[in-house]
């Protein structure tokens, strides 16, 4: 068992040093189009800012990688362009019970009388966060969840989030404060 765990650790940590942004953008755009996910027109236009980095030739970039807790941080740096690209792979382990409350869109029923059992939430949720920093451009951040797609992205100080038909409960998403701390440790 320990040997299998070591092999998986080596595959994850010492695996191919490749930016997965191109594949994530492709899959997330397909989900946006096909799976009842809405993203406003302005956000779709802003999402194109990530395309040039998705196909970037990283041969001239210095690469480093580090594992911190449940995160694997990969960094590419180009000194000529003064550009940093970060790919943070995070795993969130969840094992909890959520109180099941009815949510009403209208305000007629403010205090529901129906009692429902708690919802068990258990699983591993995998995320990839991309942070692109350049001296000449606005900071770009892109967060995607494995199997679910785009969570949110930002261009400069403006955040964009898709509107979904369903909401996954109990997921603990990586937050920007945590991501920024991880980046500073690189």
Q: Does 25 score more than 70 pLDDT?
A: yes
- Mean pLDDT, rounded, for 125-153: 92
Look at strands 83-98 and 119-134 and give their pairing.
Answer: antiparallel
Give the count of domains, the chain.
Answer: 1
135, part of any domain:
yes
Could you say which DSSP state residue 30 is in?
H
Q: Is residue 173 in a domain?
A: yes
- Cβ-contact 154, 143 below 8 angstroms: no
Asked whether the predicted pLDDT for residue 127 surpasses 90, the reply is: yes
Q: Is residue 55 part of a domain?
A: yes
**In-domain check, residue 7:** no
Residue 175 domain flag: yes
For 112-160, the three-class secondary structure string (H helix, E strand, C coil) is: CCCCCCCEEEEEEEEEEEEEEEECCCCCEEEEEECCCEEEEEEECCEEE
Closest CA to 148 of 61, 28, 51: 28
> What residue numbers bound the domain in which 122 lies?
18-184
pLDDT reported for residue 102: 61
The answer to whether 128 and 20 are in contact (CB under 8 A) is yes
pLDDT for 98 equals: 67
Residue 87 has pLDDT above 80, yes or no: yes
When pLDDT is averaged across residues 19-38 and rounded to a whole number, the result is: 89
Q: Is the pLDDT of residue 6 over 70?
A: no
Q: What is the mean pLDDT of the chain?
A: 82
- Min mean pLDDT across 66-75, 144-153, 167-176 is at 167-176
State the DSSP code for 169.
S
Q: Is 101 a member of any domain?
A: yes
- Whether 43 maps to a domain, the answer reads yes
Instruction: Please report, rounded to a whole number, the percentage of residues in the chain having pLDDT higher than 90.
Output: 45
Whole-number Å distance between alpha carbons of 151 and 129: 10
Q: Which of 90-99, 112-121, 142-151 has the lowest mean pLDDT?
A: 112-121
**Contact yes or no for 19/76 (Cβ under 8 A):** yes
- In sign, the C-alpha dihedral spanning 16, 151, 31, 49 is negative
pLDDT band at 113 (very low <50, low <70, confident <90, very high): low
Sign of CA dihedral 46, 48, 54, 57: negative
In a domain, 12, yes or no: no
């Amino acid at each position: 068992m320990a040997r299998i765990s070591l092999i998986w650790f080596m595959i994850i940590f010492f695996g191919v040093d490749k930016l997965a942004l191109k594949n994530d953008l492709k899959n997330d755009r397909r989900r946006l189009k096909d799976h009842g996910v809405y993203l406003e027109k302005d956000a779709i236009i802003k999402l194109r800012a990530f395309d040039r980095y998705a196909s970037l030739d990283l041969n001239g970039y210095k690469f480093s990688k580090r594992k911190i807790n449940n995160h694997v941080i990969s960094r590419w740096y180009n000194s000529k362009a003064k550009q940093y690209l970060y790919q943070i792979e995070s795993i969130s382990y969840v094992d909890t019970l959520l109180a099941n409350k009815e949510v009403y869109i209208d305000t007629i029923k403010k205090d529901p009388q129906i009692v429902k059992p708690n919802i068990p939430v258990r699983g591993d949720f995998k995320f990839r966060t991309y942070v692109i920093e350049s001296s000449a451009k606005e900071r770009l951040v892109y967060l995607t969840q494995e199997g679910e797609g785009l969570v949110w992205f930002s261009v400069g100080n403006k955040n964009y989030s898709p509107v979904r038909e369903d909401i996954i409960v109990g997921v603990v998403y990586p937050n920007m404060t945590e991501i920024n701390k991880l980046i500073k440790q690189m």
